[in-house]
Amino acid sequence: MPTTNNFQRRQLIKASAALMVVPGFAAAQTFPAKPIKLVVPFPPGGLIDTMARLVGTRLAQELGQAVVIDNKPGAGGNLGAAEVARSTPDGYTLLMASPPLTIGPALYATMPYKPEQIIPVGLIGRVPNVLIVNPKSGINTVAELLAKAKSRPGQLNYASNGNGTSLHLSAELLKSSTGTFITHIPYRGAAQAVTGLIAGEVDMMFENLPSVIGQIQAGSVKALAVTTRRRNKVIANVPTLAESGLPDFDVSAWYGLAAPAGTPAAVVVRLEQALEKIARDAEIVRTMESRGADVGYLNAQVMGAFMAADTVKWKRVAAYAKITLG
């Protein structure tokens, strides 16, 4: 009869042998063995690109391999996502995940990839949109804005950076939640939309907080509310829309990592671990929060549930506003 030690040793050998036949286990043992490409589905310089470069630098340190940023803009983020969806599922091509992954399925009749071709890896943070008006408008609260909109249906208008964007849909969610009719004026970009607001061409708009912090602090625009459930530290005196009478309003420009479907589970776990460490790094937290971001890690499973709920929300808004693209 084998001794206890010999018996335990044999069990460990059997367990190790069993693991070796799990798909992707051998590759995961050496992952990463070469540089990783992080596809950013937007041009350089924007919010998601900035976050990708910050995360990519720290990810390279955690994994011991270079992380190369590859900007692939186009089709509202769909072209970059499609490239990742079609790539080899080995963990060496990742996507800087952001709202287009959940907005796209709600708006586009046809897409260059199927949503199930991309799997979540982890979410690291969110950036609120902020509802802003011209300081000369005389509007100081969300309640005052809504009262004015209801008294003048269709006469107020709002700017966005284009059809089907997070800023556009944030305004449509506000309209659907309050039964108001406010006319959409799409601009060719967020910067032009903010310029139009300051010039008095439009009455209101939503904008990513990091992009408009300077104008808020300078008094060029007035912030009425942020779209996340919690107030933001950078503009802590500005209430949330939930505090302003819309308890279910929760919108953010979130960001994280995603990978092609079929990426070995062990590789995803390795990436999850690295991303979680980054999210808990005090320097990263300070840097992101100074730019208006809320840092909060979600693993692949929880991120998947978050994305599913986000898609349902935008499908509801798209149906209400009768928005269809592509």
CATH of domain 128-235: 3.40.190.10
User: And the tokens for 293?
Assistant: 């971001």
CA dihedral 60, 118, 99, 210 (to 10 degrees): 0
Helix, strand, coil shares of the chain, percent, nearest 5, are 50, 20, 30
Indicate the SS3 state at residue 120. strand
3-state helix/strand/coil string of 128-173: EEEEEECHHHCCCCHHHHHHHHHHCCCCCEEEECCCCCHHHHHHHH
Cα distance between residue 214 and residue 198, in whole Å: 13
Domain 128-235 in the same topology as domain 34-126+253-321:
yes
Provide the residue ranges of all domains of the chain, joining segments of one domain with +. 34-126+253-321, 128-235
Cα distance between residue 150 and residue 106, in whole Å: 28
Cα distance between residue 162 and residue 76, in whole Å: 10
| Global pTM value | 0.86
Cα distance between residue 124 and residue 1, in whole Å: 53
Sign of CA dihedral 191, 193, 195, 197: negative
Q: What is the pLDDT along the chain (326 residues), one digit of tens a residue?
A: 444 455 555 555 555 544 455 555 555 678 999 999 999 999 898 888 999 999 999 999 999 999 999 999 988 899 999 999 999 999 999 999 999 999 999 998 889 999 999 999 999 999 999 999 999 999 999 999 999 999 999 999 999 998 888 999 999 999 999 999 999 999 988 999 999 999 999 999 999 999 999 999 999 999 999 999 999 999 999 999 999 999 999 999 999 999 999 999 999 999 999 999 999 999 999 998 988 898 899 999 999 999 999 999 999 999 999 988 86
For the chain, helix (H) and strand (E) counts, in that order, are 12, 10
**Region for 210 from its dihedrals, namely left if φ exceeds 0, alpha if ψ lies in -120 to 50, beta otherwise:** alpha
CB 255 within 8 A of CB 127: yes
In 3D space, the residue among 53, 119, 57, 112 whose CA is nearest the CA of residue 91 turns out to be 119
pLDDT tens sequence across 27-80 = 567 899 999 999 999 989 888 899 999 999 999 999 999 999 999 998 889 999
34-126+253-321 is classed CATH 3.40.190.150? yes
